[in-house]
Every structure is written in C-alpha cells, then in structure tokens.
Amino acid sequence: MAYDIGIVGLGVMGQNLAKNIERHGYSVAGYDLDQEKIRNFSEAAGDSAAAYGASSLSDLAMSLSAPRRILIMVPAGNPVDSAISDLSPHLEEGDILIDGGNSFFKDTERRFAALQSAGIYYIGCGVSGGEEGALWGPSMMPGGEQKAWEHIAPIFQAIAAKADDNSPCVAYIGPRGAGHYVKMVHNGIEYADMQLIAEVYDVLSRGLGIPPQELHTIFSEWNRGELQSYLIEISADIFSQMDPETGNPLVEMILDEAKQKGTGKWTSQNALDVGAPIPTINAAVESRILSSLKSQRIEASKVLHGPDPIFDGDRQKMITAARQALYAAKVTAYAQGFGLLHLASEEYHYGFQLHDIARIWRAGCIIRARLLGDIMTAFRTEAGLVNLLLHEAFRTAVEDRQSDWRFFVQQAVGMGVPVLAMSSALAYYDAYRSERLPANLTQAQRDYFGAHTYRRIDREGVFHTEWKQRSSTS
C-alpha cells in the first residue's frame, strides 16, 4: 500500500497529527528514532490499514506515494537539519518536506534554498494549538513553493480547525520562510496577550484582594463578551482549580517564574531589524526575563520599598476599568503584531494577505479570539490599512475605553503593581496618535555630539549646526 503522507517524529504532536490525518480519511506512515514510539504508533493503529509504523527512513520513503509528502515533527534547530540530512538520500526530485515545528524563519529560508537546488520542495509550516489542536484541528501557516502547497492542501484543509463559518484555519502564507515568520509573530502576540491578562490578574488579586474563585466568575463573564478568547477561557478555568495537596487555589501554589522557548524573543529581535515598533510584545518578553530573576527579586523586596498595593476606591469601577483596559490593550498589541507583518512582508517580499492571516487565527490557535473576526473584516474591507488603530471600528473601540484604560494604569502605578505590557500599550497608542514627538531634541543631541545632521520643518534639505560648546570651566 502507498501511504498519503509520512511523519518523522512521533512525539505527542506527531502522534496526534497522525490520528487527525487518519480520522479524515488519509493514510499515514510514521517513523521515529525511538523504536518505542514506533511500536506505540503501530499499536495505536491496530488493524487499521491507514497507518503504518516504518522500521527505517528508507522503509518510510518506499511506503509513500509520489510525490512523497513527509511532515517533520522534531524540535527546532539541529534536529531538523539532522532529519533533513538523514532523509535526503531517500528522496527524489519533486518530493516535499514539511517542517511543522517552531523553526526560526531564517533557518527555514536556508533549508528552502538548499533543498530547492536539489529539486526537493520545502515547506515551513507554523502549527498552533498545542497537543489538543494537533489532534482535533490546529491553525496552520504553511510557506514555501506554492506548487508544493497544492500537493498538501487537501490534507491540511481537512485536518485544520474550522472557524464558525466552517472555513479551514489554514492558508498558503507566502514563499520561502513566510509560514514560520507568521508563526513567530503569532507567538509574539501570544506573549503580549498572556502578559496583559497576567497584569490584570495581578492588579485585581494584589490590589483589590480578589480571590481566585471570584476571579473565575469575573473572567467567565468577560469570556461571554468582547474579550471572548481561548486565553481568557483557560484563565477562568485555572482560577477554579484547587490544589489537592494543600486545599489552596492551585494558581497560588505555582512558582512565579515564566519560561520561554525563544519565539517571543525572535519576534522582538526581528522587529528591530525591520524597524517595527512592538513595545507591548517586547514588554511581555522582558517580563518573563524579569520573572526568572526570582532570587534577586526576593532580596530586592527586602530593601527596595514602594507603596502598599492596596486599592481603596470603588471596587466595581476598578473591575470594569480592568475589562475595558484589557480589551484596548489587546487591540493595540494586535495592531503592533500586524504592523510588524506589514513591514516584514515588504522587507522579505512575502506578499502577506493580512486578512487571511487573521482568518486562519480565528480557531485552533492559542490566540484565537472573537476579536480576530473583526480584524479579518478590517483588513479585507479597507485596502492599504497599515495599522488597526486607523480602522474606524477599532479607533472607536479604543477611544471609548480610553478613560478606563488610563484610570487602570494610573491606579496600578499608584499602588506599585508593575504593568509593563499594559502601560507600554498605552504609551504606544499615545505616541502613534502624536503629530509631534520629542525626537527633534534627540536629533539635535545627535548633531551636537556627532554631527549626524538633521532636517527642518520649514524647508527641504539636510542641516548641521556648529553648536555652542559648553566651556570646560562652566
């Protein structure tokens, strides 16, 4: 029997994708360096003729129909290069390799070029949704040669998550490393969204003394409105979970050190490369780094003093302000992420269709939210939209919440509760809406100490001033 697609890497993600593929009527052959995982894969298949555990990469290659379609589900970095190197002797011109991991987009660009010279198609495909998404429907972001996409499209469209309008949450993203680039930015937005939610939790918990059980009720209510999203939903669930060992809310028993795998950091680094301002994503990355300084923070808490985090105002007003501030900041974070995609599309000639990217994020992925339907509509109906904040619907939504947003940030700062992401989102909004910023002084300083020149507001040209130097005796 010739199988429709092969999977290299039978960890949980690989296994679940295989089950998803088989459930939708396609046959799949699997291989892993770990023989135990191959046995588990074969045992799970049972008597099904639609799944096959290959004994070697040669066996895997021989079992597949032409052109071979092989999905690589191994950790990013050197394991991907090793898998490609080991597979290459068994491939023929026109075969298709698909990297479904969280690879850095420039690594994907390099692999694409190397395999293209050998006549092998390479697709870098972002996959979001975690283990459950892999099994029941992820959001998928494939980039590479469009001809290769056409060969895998039926399978990917079948296994992808379906939005409310039943459209599959997968689309051809663009050439070369475009798919992994979009997944990287997705994860950057995810960092920002998670940090904004965490900061609201911190203010309500520390500042207002709201216990997790009540936060569960508050977040559940929010999830029925404009904030409806996967991350709000799971946050509400987390607040309701009790620790069986201590009887305390489990969230309060978890050490306050957030880990990261690097995709958020890549987003921040690349935004600097292309000149895109994403301060809320950057703040989220920095907040995770700050959280890792646990031992330092313990010592600092003993010697660095500030106000007591106690809110003594109208409790319901603060809860309402938190809700409105969270929505406004989320819109601003998405505006930053899509602004980065806009600039990167031009920089790398990716040809991103921003409405399509919003469309495939509506279900399956970690940042799926009601908000994304509105973002899709905004980019679809307003050609040339460069920033979500300029779209009438989002401009109005943020302006209507502006007073609550400022109140929330002011109260948090007054209480000494850190809101790096929330305050950076507000500062971005204020900077973006400012016709004039203090960069004129920055340019004067640069010209003063380095003769870097400046432009004027009243005439064209580039200018330099011989600034009066301060005397050494003054």
Successive 10-residue mean pLDDT values, the chain, 474 residues: 95 96 96 94 82 95 97 96 97 97 97 96 96 96 96 98 96 98 97 98 97 98 97 98 97 92 90 98 97 96 95 96 98 98 98 97 95 97 94 97 98 98 98 97 96 96 89 47
Instruction: Provide the pairing of β-strand 69-72 with 5-8.
Output: parallel
Say how many C-beta atoms besides its own lie within 10 A of residue 91's C-beta: 21
Nearest to 98 by CA among 75, 123, 74, 77: 123
Task: Please check whether residues 255 and 280 belong to one and the same domain.
Answer: yes
CA–CA dist 466, 167 (Å, integer)? 63
CA–CA dist 465, 438 (Å, integer)? 18
Q: Which domain holds residue 86?
A: 5-176
Task: Please check whether residues 210 and 82 belong to one and the same domain.
Answer: no
CA–CA dist 371, 232 (Å, integer)? 12
- Contact by Cβ (8 Å): 315, 208: yes
pLDDT value of position 364: 95
Q: In 148-162, which positions are buried (b, 16+ CB within 10 angstroms) versus exposed (e)? A: bbebbbebbbbbbbe
Chain centroid offset of residue 319 CA:
27
Structural domain count of the chain: 3
pLDDT value of position 473: 47
Task: Please check whether residues 465 and 367 belong to one and the same domain.
Answer: no
Can you give the length of the chain in residues?
A: 474
pLDDT value of position 5: 98
The amino acid at residue 20 is N
Give residue for tokens 């090793």: 82
Taking phi first (over 0 means left), then psi (-120 to 50 degrees means alpha), and beta for anything else, what does residue 54 get? beta
Nearest to 159 by CA among 309, 353, 20: 20
Q: Quick one: which H or E segment has residue 29?
A: strand 28-31
Among 148, 176, 204, residue at a domain's last position: 176
Chain centroid offset of residue 415 CA:
30
For residue 453, give the 3-state DSSP assignment.
coil
Among 154, 176, 198, residue at a domain's last position: 176
List residues bridging with 454 in a β-sheet: 463
Task: Please check whether residues 237 and 120 belong to one and the same domain.
Answer: no
Q: How is residue 212 written in tokens?
A: 């997790």
Give residue for tokens 């309060």: 252
Query: Catalytic one among 19, 37, 109, 183?
Result: 183
Instruction: Provide the pairing of β-strand 139-144 with 121-128.
Output: antiparallel
Task: Please check whether residues 409 and 459 belong to one and the same domain.
Answer: no
CA–CA dist 421, 196 (Å, integer)? 6
CA–CA dist 47, 92 (Å, integer)? 30
Strands, E assignment, 95-184: 96-99, 121-128, 139-144
Task: Please check whether residues 44 and 158 belong to one and the same domain.
Answer: yes
CATH code for position 403: 1.10.1040.10
pLDDT value of position 261: 76
pLDDT value of position 474: 42
Among 176, 195, 213, residue at a domain's last position: 176
For residue 268, give the 3-state DSSP assignment.
helix
Nearest to 368 by CA among 358, 355, 381: 358
Task: Please check whether residues 190 and 298 belong to one and the same domain.
Answer: yes
Task: Please check whether residues 121 and 146 belong to one and the same domain.
Answer: yes
Query: Catalytic one among 190, 199, 226, 286?
Result: 190
Mean pLDDT for all residues in the chain: 96
Task: Please check whether residues 353 and 422 belong to one and the same domain.
Answer: yes
Task: Please check whether residues 385 and 264 belong to one and the same domain.
Answer: yes
Q: Quick one: which H or E segment has residue 53?
A: strand 51-53
pLDDT value of position 470: 62
Which residues have C-beta within 8 Å of that of residue 354, sequence separation ≥ 6? 338, 341, 342, 379, 385
Q: Exposed (0-12), middle (13-18) or buried (19+): which is 89, by Cβ within 10 Å?
A: exposed
CA–CA dist 44, 67 (Å, integer)? 27
User: How confident is the model over 398-445, as pLDDT tens digits?
Assistant: 999 999 999 999 999 999 999 999 999 999 999 999 999 999 999 999
Task: Please check whether residues 227 and 353 belong to one and the same domain.
Answer: yes
Say how many C-beta atoms besides its own lie within 10 A of residue 48's C-beta: 12
**190 counts as catalytic:** yes
CATH code for position 36: 3.40.50.720
Nearest to 325 by CA among 189, 426, 223: 426
DSSP secondary structure code for residue 17 in this structure = H
Instruction: Please report the sign of the dihedral spanned by the C-alpha atoms of residue 220, residue 222, residue 224, residue 227.
Output: negative
**19 counts as catalytic:** no
DSSP letters spanning 376-423: HHHHHHSTT---GGGSHHHHHHHHHHHHHHHHHHHHHHHHT---HHHH
- Contact by Cβ (8 Å): 147, 120: no
Task: Please check whether residues 417 and 458 belong to one and the same domain.
Answer: no
Nearest to 335 by CA among 406, 401, 432: 432
| Distance set, CA 276 to CA 243, 265, 408, 419, 428 (Å) | 43, 14, 27, 22, 12
Rg (the chain; Cα; Å): 25
